[in-house]
Amino acid sequence: MPIYEYAPIAGSCDHCKNHFEVLQRMSDPELSACPQCGQPCRQVISAPNVSIGGGHMLKEKNVAEKGFTQYRRVEKGRYEKTAGKGPDTIGSD
């Protein structure tokens, strides 16, 4: 579910004076009033949080340090370990 940002139109309380965020389904209707004070508000467009490239992914050299095991597919239904603790191979045998 996305987080939507709202700003007060007129008047404000401590909750809405510097914008406030609400976790809502995309199908939920847009808020028209602050849930705390009831003053009118509007939805504002804010910058999305997007990860680009592979920088957010766990590097292979750090996998074992973080307690994970990484496998690489060698053939259909068969994988071999590239990093971490765990069995050397796994498969559907």
Distance between CA 84 and CA 13 in Å, rounded?
52
Model pLDDT for residues 13-67, shown as the tens digit of each residue: 888 888 888 898 989 999 888 888 888 999 998 877 776 766 656 677 788 888 8
Quote the pLDDT of residue 79: 92
Model pLDDT for residues 64-90, shown as the tens digit of each residue: 888 888 888 998 889 998 888 888 898
- For 81, the 3-state DSSP assignment is strand
Angle (CA) 78 60 68, round 5°:
70
- For 62, the 3-state DSSP assignment is helix
- For 61, the 3-state DSSP assignment is helix
Distance between CA 3 and CA 25 in Å, rounded?
9
Quote the pLDDT of residue 57: 65
Q: Where are the domains of the chain?
A: 1-44, 60-86
